[in-house]
Structure 1
Amino acid sequence: MAKKQDSLLKLDRIDRSILELLQQNAELTNQEVADKVGLSPSPCLRRVRALEQAGIIIRRVTILDHKKLGLALTAILLIGMDRHTPERFAAFESEVAKLPEVQECYIITGQDADYMLKVVVPDMDHYHHLLLNRITRIQGVSGVHSSFVLRRVIDSTALPLNYLS
């Protein structure tokens, strides 16, 4: 497979190791990361800062247990739009960004839909309210197909780094 070498930052084995460690546990101290990748703390910190400045590390977050917070229902929605104009899409994206239940939103191809959303809510009643009172009221939404997650088989935020040379 062809690589876009021009647009990718050159990452060496140590950079990749740093990224893999931080994807698994962003709470690691610089000293812990440095020890695991075989660097002293100062060069390790310089590399982390360089990865941040290059925009590779965007932010560090805390991942919460959705079930322990009472958010037991995850739904995948396929959204169809009535018109395919930049204005219509921008308006939809602006409105959907205001919904805290929406965890992910993608423009997609290959389906009878324009967007795919991942939403998390406490239960079916909350989902019903979100769907009928918020999502279907966004101008331009012409159809919604919902699927419900029965079990999370893989639930990862880590990106695969093994393909980087």
Structure 2
Amino acid sequence: MPPKRTRAPKKLQQEHELDHIDRRLLELLRNDARMTNQALSENLGVAPSTCLARVKALQQAGVIRRFTVEVDPRALGRGIEALISVRLRPGARQQMAAFGETLKNVPEVTQYFFVGGMDDFLIHVTARDTDHIRQFVLEHLSADPVVATTHTSLVFEHVSGLASL
């Protein structure tokens, strides 16, 4: 089953004011989404029922969108990562949504961003080696008639989960 893709944040289902307990709860879950309710409540200094109610409220409000696992690409035989900027042809702007949809089914694509500025998409890929990245660009980007240009940058270090709460 292909991984679930996260879309750009939508407006929260309801306004949810985050207090210091909610922020700490989110920080704990960001560091370990598998942390038990008991461990969360102990860390927060609240009753387990209160902790569970807060997690459910954060989910219902759309603050917590999903729980996930981050897999080291090297464990899958993909020891190199790249960020590829893509600019579509001016006449192909109406095909942006379709282009994004095709990226969802390509195994090398771990995430992509529809961006403003000089480029239209920023694609994060994992691959076995540079030849694999080259093949990806040739088959999935350069061969696509809607693509005008690409620019590939190799990733030397990938640090995630730094957003402050």
TM-score range normalised by the length of the shorter chain: 0.7 to 0.9
Letter in 2 for 1:90: A
Aligned residues: 153
In the alignment, structure 1 residue 157 sits paired with structure 2 residue 161: yes
Question: Which position in structure 2 is the counterpart of 1:146?
Answer: 152
Structure 2: tracts of 5 or more residues without a match: 1-13
Residue 63 of structure 2 is aligned to residue 56 of structure 1:
yes
| Superposed CA offset, 1:66-86 (max 9, x none) | 223321111111101102666
| Greater per-residue helix proportion | 2
Contiguous gaps of at least 5 residues in structure 1: 1-6
User: Where in structure 2 are the equivalents of 1:57-76 lying within 5 Å?
Assistant: 57-76=64-83
Q: 1:17 to 1:63 in 2, by over 3 A?
A: same
Structure 2 residue matching 1:67: 3-state secondary structure: helix
Equivalent pair of 1:24/1:158 in contact (CA under 8 Å) = no
Q: Which region of structure 1 is more displaced relative to structure 2, 141-150 or 28-37?
A: 141-150
Q: 2:49 is paired with a residue of what secondary structure?
A: helix
Spell out the pairing of 1:12-161 with structure 2 (5 A cutoff): 12-83=19-90, 87-111=94-118, 113-152=119-158, 155-161=159-165
CA distance in 1, matches of 2:50, 2:145: 52
Please tell me whether the aligned partners of residues 78 and 145 of structure 1 are also in contact (alpha carbons under 8 angstroms). yes
State the shift of 1:100 in Å: 2.3
Identity %: 33
Structure-2 change in CA distance of 1:146 and 1:86 (3 Å): closer
Moved over 4 A (4+): none
CA distance in 1, matches of 2:25, 2:157: 31
Q: Which moved more, 1:97-106 or 1:38-47?
A: 97-106
7-16 vs 92-101, which moves further: 7-16
The alpha carbon displacement at 1:8 in A equals: 4.7
Kindly indicate whether structure 1 or structure 2 has the higher relative contact order, using CA contacts under 8 Å at least 6 residues apart.
Answer: 1
Q: TM-score, normalised by structure 1?
A: 0.84
